[in-house]
Amino acid sequence: MGQSHPPHHRTKGRLIGGIRRWVTAAVGALALTAGLIAAGPPASAAGLTQVTGFGTNPGNLSMYTYAPDTLPPGAPLVVALHGCTQSASDYYAHSGWPKFADRYGFALVLPQTSSANNANSCFNWFDPADSSRGRGEALSIRQMVDQAVSRYGSDTRRIYVTGLSAGGGMTANLLAAYPDVFAGGSVDSGLPASCASSVSAAYTCMYSPPDRTPGQWGDLVRAAAPAGTTSWPRVAIWQGTADTTVRPANATELRDQWTDVWGLGQTPSRTENLSGGTTLSVYDDASGRPAVEVYSVSGMAHGLAVDPGSGPDQCGTAGTYYLDTICSSYHTARFWGLDGDTPDTGALPAPTGLTVTGTTDTTVALSWNAVPGAASYTVHRGGAKVGTTTSTAYTDTGLATGTTHTYTVAAVDPAGVAGAVSAAVTAATSGFTPTCHTASNYDHTTAGRAHQSAGRTYANGSEEPMGLWNTFTVHTLEQTAPGHYVVADSGCPA
């Protein structure tokens, strides 16, 4: 607003708008950037302050901020990204974030895109030119963070980002591109980082996201981040089970992506039942602190979870794509520790140099660099503690042949408090024992033995066709190597 639009953005807007108008005519649906819909006309900008001159602004975005009158220096900062057809003021009015900025004492930055960038005013989460580190809209948002830190004296260790739908897709990409900036994120009805790099791929991600392994999803984050990154954001994932715009499978792939980045398994540390038909699955890091949380809201369609009311855990205003279920902003703020109830963690830094020094068919040997002040070290496999040692080496025993495992290490101080967790390493035991599995194509896919594309099923590794992806087509698969399956309906040698 009040800024000129560079010619290349006008061209991009016309190009993407033309693509969407063609898709709209083809499918008879509302034109969306990758189908990510949002609420209607913008609300008033009361309570918001527009900030100009925050940087070179290569993404051609507008910056709005909100801060409580009594905001102290050193307070946290939250960046909140609207969805398609929305605006900063619309998200400010409906999402509930201002209530908790006032209660807990933090500043808000609300970036805003426009139809000059995208025909439906969506953040271009699917375009690497706008969603990669140091480029386009992502860099503009990074510049807004710098401006807000200077303006409010924000604590650079407590900067967070959240977003709905297209804003959620951009949030995941920002977390991957700037893990050195954001301590945490919340992806609301959004998509995994680097899920798409084009408009057509965006539709695939929304309706049938690629069934990649956790390691493959994690590799996309590691590739987007600065080389040598060892500290990662804590990520909340919100998804409605009845969302037909961004399918619930995206929450599963997001979970796989970020638990892998943290070196955790995909089995939750615990689950809880919350209000609004919400199930919370928590994935703890090696120190026992939640690293990834998944909120699955039963029966909720596409949108942001809000819960209008004056209660301490209520927030927001219901409306189109602001759905009256549970206050996501409240639970996300508490997950990030903005309520001041962050679990204590030790002051010891993460061990460096974690290395696999050897493997056998049943063991994995590890070593790492010593941490000054450490009394001992805890070793974790797949997020679960498997051993404690006072040395800087450990051998994990009793493993199955031909299996792959992810390890992290944390230093423990003399008081018994674990510090930061190391970067993860992956190791595979030698040998392999073939196994046979008879199940429906659907069950093979959910178990990770096969994957589906365009409604048809293919065996992982061999890519052998298995027919329709449903519960009525049954095959026997033989696992002949880690991650490699062949159809063995005529007889399984194993």
Active site residues: 165
How far from chain centre, in Å, is Cα 204?
18
**Which tokens in the block code for residue 158?**
């407590």
Q: 410: closest CA among 462, 345, 475, 315? A: 345
Question: Are 76 and 338 in contact, with CB atoms under 8 Å apart?
Answer: yes
CA distance between the termini of the chain = 66
Q: Position of tokens 């009394």?
A: 375
Identify each DSSP E strand in 376-461 by its residue range: 376-381, 384-389, 393-396, 404-412, 418-421, 425-428, 435-440, 450-453, 456-459
The answer to whether 297 and 238 are in contact (CB under 8 A) is yes
Distance CA 342, CA 82 (A): 27
361: three-class secondary structure by DSSP: coil
Cα 101 to its chain centre, rounded Å, is 23
For 310, the token pair is: 């004056």
Distance CA 240, CA 244 (A): 9
430's CB contacts (< 8 A; 6+ apart) are: 359, 360, 361, 401, 402
Say which DSSP state 217 is in.
H
CB 283 within 8 Å of CB 259: yes
* Region of 183 on the Ramachandran plot (φ > 0 left; ψ -120 to 50 alpha; else beta): alpha
Inter-residue contact 410 to 377 (CB < 8 Å): yes
Secondary structure of residue 296 in the 3-state scheme: strand
Given a contact cutoff of 8 angstroms between Cβ atoms, the answer to whether 183 and 333 are in contact is no
Closest by Cα among 163, 242, 255 to 209: 255
Q: Is the Cβ–Cβ distance between 366 and 389 less than 8 Å?
A: no
Q: Greatest CA span in the chain, whole angstroms? A: 73
Q: Helix, strand or coil for residue 31?
A: coil
- Tell me the DSSP string of 155-204: -TTSEEEEEETHHHHHHHHHHHH-TTT-SEEEEES---TTS-SSHHHHHH
Contact 200, 157 (CB under 8 A): no
